[in-house]
Amino acid sequence: MGFDNTLGAAFIGAIGASILFGITNLQVFLYYHSYPEDWRVQKLIVALLWLLDVVHLILTVHAVYHYVVTSFGNPLALLQVVWSLKLQIAVNVIIVLLVQSLYAARVWKLGYQNCQTIPWIVLAIVILGYAVGIILAVKTYQISSFDDLNSMSWAIYASFAMPTIVDFVIAATICYYLQTNRSGFSEANSRIVVVMRYVLISGFATSVCSTVALITYSAMPRNLVFLGIEFLLTKLYVNSFLAMLNARRSLRRKDTTNASTASRMVNLRLTGTAAGSHDTPDDSPKEPSFEYHRSNPDQSEIHADVP
């Protein structure tokens, strides 16, 4: 082992986590600025995620500083697992499980009244993810050096594989429910497709990160490349959830634009008909005027709130 694939990998991972944390701050600002009328509980959840993300970054920076600066020139200290690194793993587990629980709650809200079997399956998989995460946190606190990672390798494999499975199941389930709610109206269908893209992209980003961490640990278990990637995983989960929340306004704005365009087309057609009627007088009673209305507004509102 050398410094490049151990301390260097952890240092680069900490830099990447800091950059993603800056994006998190921007997304939190946009959320509170754009959605002041949101449910109070949801605002508290966003604040909790941001606070946990702050703690995670502080612990990450402290762990890297300990190995790069404080323990510089002390090879024996580099072999020990510092307390902040252990606590960072626990905070990482909490954030991942919290975000996945929020997505699972959306699945429950979307599908429980239609099919009660699928939400229970998703809930069972999320609970299994809780079990894996708790085991990982406990095992991490029981080790004292990096050589002890071999004794808990199965927990590391499971902790990287389980988020990928949970993300895939949740994304597939949400897309399934959205697909079944498609109607004969092109406007509503296009909106559903956009929401499905957001869901797939957010799940794809976190799944790729956890999969890459799993592959790097499998191929290089004696270095810390997987740990540098793990630093990024938490930030991706927080940012993906915030991105879904902040995307609602753009979806509604697009929906309003489509409605306005259709209204102008209807008014133009009615105006043209009225202009032609001056050439041929007609004593028949006038037909009532028409107005454009968005079909099934309740369904559109449900889709807009799916993160």
Identify the pLDDT of residue 195.
67
Ranked by mean pLDDT, the top range of 16-20, 194-198, 221-225 is 16-20
C-beta separation of 196 from 217 below 8 A: no
Provide the mean pLDDT of the chain: 80
Identify the pLDDT of residue 285.
44
Is the predicted pLDDT of residue 258 greater than 60, yes or no? no
DSSP collapsed to 3 states, the chain? CCCCCCHHHHHHHHHHHHHHHHHHHHHHHHHHHHCCCCCHHHHHHHHHHHHHHHHHHHHHHHHHHHHHHHCCCCHHHHCECCHHHHHHHHHHHHHHHHHHHHHHHHHHHHHCCCCCHHHHHHHHHHHHHHHHHHHHHHHHHHCCEHHHHHHHHHHHHHHHHHHHHHHHHHHHHHHHHHHHCCCCCHHHHHHHHHHHHHHHHHHHHHHHHHHHHHHHHHHCCCCCHHHHHHHHHHHHHHHHHHHHHHHHHHHHHHHHHHHHHHHHHHHHHHHHHHHHCCCCCCCCCCCCCCCCCCCCHHHHHHHHCCC
Identify the pLDDT of residue 83.
95
Distances (CA, A) of 160 to 54, 70, 189, 205, 225: 22, 30, 35, 14, 14
Instruction: Tell me the pLDDT band of 33, cut-offs 50, 70 and 90.
Output: very high
Distances (CA, A) of 266 to 111, 189, 293: 36, 21, 11
C-beta separation of 307 from 244 below 8 A: yes
Which residues contact residue 182 at a Cβ distance below 8 angstroms, ignoring those fewer than 6 apart?
A: 188, 189, 192
C-beta separation of 307 from 106 below 8 A: yes
Comparing 70-79, 176-185, 204-213, 242-251, which segment has the lowest mean pLDDT? 176-185
Comparing 144-158, 200-214, 273-287, which segment has the lowest mean pLDDT? 273-287
Q: For residues 192, 37, 55 and 53, what is the CA-based torsion angle, rounded to 10 degrees?
A: 20
Average pLDDT estimate for 184-209: 71
Identify the pLDDT of residue 1.
61
Average pLDDT estimate for 94-122: 83
CA separation for the pair 114, 103 (Å, rounded):
18
Identify the pLDDT of residue 296.
42
Is the predicted pLDDT of residue 218 greater than 90, yes or no? yes
Is the predicted pLDDT of residue 273 greater than 50, yes or no? no
Cross-strand bridge partners of residue 80: 145
Is the predicted pLDDT of residue 257 greater than 60, yes or no? no
Is the predicted pLDDT of residue 185 greater than 70, yes or no? no
Identify the pLDDT of residue 16.
96
Comparing 32-36, 165-169, 236-240, 301-305, which segment has the lowest mean pLDDT? 301-305
